[in-house]
Amino acid sequence: MKINRRQFLASLGALSTLGAPRLAAQMYSAYSLLRPPCLQGMRPDGVTIMWATLERGTGYIQYSEDGYGANFAEARSRIFLPQDTGLPYAYMQHEATLSELAPGMDYQYSVLAGGEPISDPGACSFRTAGRGPFNFVVFGDSGQGGAEQYALASRIASERASFVLHTGDLAYMHGTFEQYHSNYFRYYGGLMNSVPFFPTPGNHDYLTNNAAPYLALHSVPQDTVPFDDRGRYYSFDWGNAHFVSLDSNASLASAIEGTGPMLAWLEEDLRATRQFWRIVFFHHPPYAAGPNQSDEISSLVREAIVPILEKHGVQLVLNGHEHAYHRSRLIRNNTVVKPGEGTTYVTSGGGGAFLYPVFPHSLVEVSKPEHHYIRAEVRGTRLTLQTIGIDGTEVDSFTLAPPPVIANYGREPAVRFSPALEPGALVRIAGRGLATEERHASPGSALPTELAGTIVTLNGRPISLFYVSSHEIRGQVPFEVTGSVTLGVATPNGFVDTSLPGL
C-alpha cells in the first residue's frame, strides 16, 4: 500500500496514542534485520521487497528517485513460529509492494521500523525493468557452503546484472528454512537488495513439506497463475523478452496426471506473448549430457513440456539439476535443425554444489564439468551468453540471432490477404522472429515502410506497415503491384522470402 508522508507520520502518531511513544522509539531502535531486503518480481512499474526481523512491528519501505524524496509503502507482516520453520526462534517476515513506478528508472530505498531506518544507509537501490538492451546472470545448484559457492557469489555480485535467474536447488540439502538462511540468503542476500532474483524450484527445494519454505520465502509474479499453484511457476517480461519459470516437480507431475493446470497455463501464457525472445527456465533438463538424463522426470519433460515450447517458438531453455555446464545444438522434434527453427537448451548447474561427470550426447554440443555462472546480454534480436568459470575465464560463449521465418504455425495460411491478393489489399504474415518488438504504426501520420527494424517487400519494393511483432506483421499491398508476387521480410538478423500465386 502506497502512502504519503502525512499518512506515514499519522501512522506513527497512532502508535503514540497507545501510550508509550518514547518507549516505542526505543524498542524500534533495537530493531535488527534478520534477513536483508530482497527484491522480488521486478516489473516496469513496481517491485515487491521482502525482509525479516526478530522483533514484531509494522515495517515500511521509504523510497524515491533522488534519495531525498519520501514515498512510503507499508508492509504486510507475517509471523513465523519455531513450529513452522524448525528454527529455534520466532521471526517476522515483511513484504511491501511498491507500485506506480517509472520504467527503466533508478530508485533508492530504506527499510523502516518505527520511523527509523534499519537497513544500511545508501546500500539499497534498484532499477525498474524498461525498454532497450539488458543483461542478466544465470546459475543454479548453488551448494551448501564452501569456497566454490563463495567465489562464484562474489563474481556474480560484481556483474551488476539487471536481474538473476536461479535454475533451482537453491538450498541444499533439503530446502529447509535454516538451509535457506545459511546456504542461500547468506551468500546472495547482500546482492538481493539491489538485484532481483527470479527463482525456479529444484527437487531439493521440494524435500521440505512440498516446497513450503521456497514458497514462503519468495513473492514471484502470480497474476495469471491459478490460485492453488501460485508461487510454483510464473512469467514476466523484461525489455523485448518474455521469461517463464516452470515447476518441473509437483506441478508437472499433477499436470501429467490431469489434475494440475500448469501445462494449460503454459500454453496460454506463450500464446499470449508478443515478445521477440521467449526464454523458459525450469530445473530438470530435457537435453544435457550427464547422469540425470536417465531420470524419469527428464523424459517427462521431453514428452510434456518440450512440444509446447517448440509450438510457440521458444528460442532458449535454461535448466539446472546436472551439476555441470551443457549447451545443446538447435533442437526441434528431437533432431538437430537450422537457425530460426529450433531451441537451444543450456544447463547451468555448476553454481557451487559438487560436480557431476559429463558423457557424449548426440544433441549436446558442449559439456564441461565446471563450476560457473552465465552472463547473458540481450540487444534487440541478438542474445549472447558467455559462461564464466570460477577463476573468471571463459568456459563457453555463443550468440543466438534467429533469422525471420515465414511459416504457418496455426490453422491459417502463413500469408493471408484481405479481401484477396489485389492492389491496396491488407496482408497478414505469420511466422517467427519477424520483428524486434511489438510496434504499431503511429496514428495520424503516413504509414512507415520500416517498423521496429522490420521491412517487408513485395517484388523488391517496401510496403506500408500497420503493425509488427515477433509472430505477426500487418501491412498493405501497393496499388501498382501486378503479375507474380514474391514477398520478403527483412530484420536485423536476416532476410526470408516466399513466392505467392500471381495477381
- Which residues sit at the interface with Fe ion, rule CB under 5 A? 141, 169, 202-203, 321
Alpha-carbon span 275 to 204, nearest angstrom: 32
- Give the length of the chain: 503
Contact call for residues 238 and 134 (beta carbons, < 8 A): yes
Compare residues 202 and 380 and give the one whose CB is closer to Fe ion.
202
Rg of the Cα atoms in the chain: 25
Residue that the C-alpha cell 515447476 belongs to: 247
Q: Minimum distance from CB of 208 to Fe ion (Å)? A: 14
Q: Minimum distance from CB of 283 to Fe ion (Å)? A: 6
Compare residues 221 and 349 and give the one whose CB is closer to Fe ion.
349
CA angle, 275 as apex, 195 and 387 as ends, to 5°?
50
Q: Minimum distance from CB of 321 to Fe ion (Å)? A: 4
DSSP element (H, E) containing 111: strand 106-113
Hey, what amino acid is at 325?
Y
Longest dimension (CA), the chain: 89
Compare residues 126 and 356 and give the one whose CB is closer to Fe ion.
356
DSSP element (H, E) containing 309: helix 306-311
Compare residues 28 and 282 and give the one whose CB is closer to Fe ion.
282
Hey, what amino acid is at 74?
E
26 φ, ψ (degrees, to nearest 5):
-65, -40
Q: Minimum distance from CB of 248 to Fe ion (Å)? A: 9
Q: Minimum distance from CB of 352 to Fe ion (Å)? A: 10
Q: Minimum distance from CB of 150 to Fe ion (Å)? A: 18
Which CA distances in Å does 271 have to 310, 410, 422? 12, 11, 31
Alpha-carbon span 141 to 374, nearest angstrom: 13
Residue by residue, DSSP assigns 129-186 as --SS-EEEEEE----SSSHHHHHHHHHHHTT--SEEEE-S--STTT--HHHHIIIIIH
End-to-end CA distance of the chain: 61
Compare residues 359 and 495 and give the one whose CB is closer to Fe ion.
359
Compare residues 291 and 494 and give the one whose CB is closer to Fe ion.
291
Compare residues 301 and 465 and give the one whose CB is closer to Fe ion.
301
Q: Minimum distance from CB of 320 to Fe ion (Å)? A: 6
Compare residues 94 and 166 and give the one whose CB is closer to Fe ion.
166
459: three-class secondary structure by DSSP: coil
Q: Minimum distance from CB of 353 to Fe ion (Å)? A: 5
Q: Minimum distance from CB of 175 to Fe ion (Å)? A: 11
462: three-class secondary structure by DSSP: strand
Compare residues 171 and 430 and give the one whose CB is closer to Fe ion.
171
The three-state DSSP-derived secondary structure of 312-329 is CCCCEEEECCCCCEEEEC
Which distant-in-sequence residues (6+ apart) come within 8 Å of 144 by Cβ? 172, 173, 179, 183, 353
Alpha-carbon span 359 to 112, nearest angstrom: 52
Burial class (CB in 10 A: 0-12, 13-18, 19+), 162: buried
Contact call for residues 240 and 277 (beta carbons, < 8 A): yes
Q: Minimum distance from CB of 143 to Fe ion (Å)? A: 9
Compare residues 155 and 321 and give the one whose CB is closer to Fe ion.
321
Q: Minimum distance from CB of 355 to Fe ion (Å)? A: 10
DSSP code of residue 292: G
Which distant-in-sequence residues (6+ apart) come within 8 Å of 49 by Cβ? 37, 38, 39, 40, 61, 73, 95, 96, 97, 98, 109, 111
Compare residues 284 and 474 and give the one whose CB is closer to Fe ion.
284
Which CA distances in Å does 377 have to 138, 234, 238, 258? 11, 22, 12, 38
Compare residues 61 and 170 and give the one whose CB is closer to Fe ion.
170
Q: Minimum distance from CB of 385 to Fe ion (Å)? A: 20
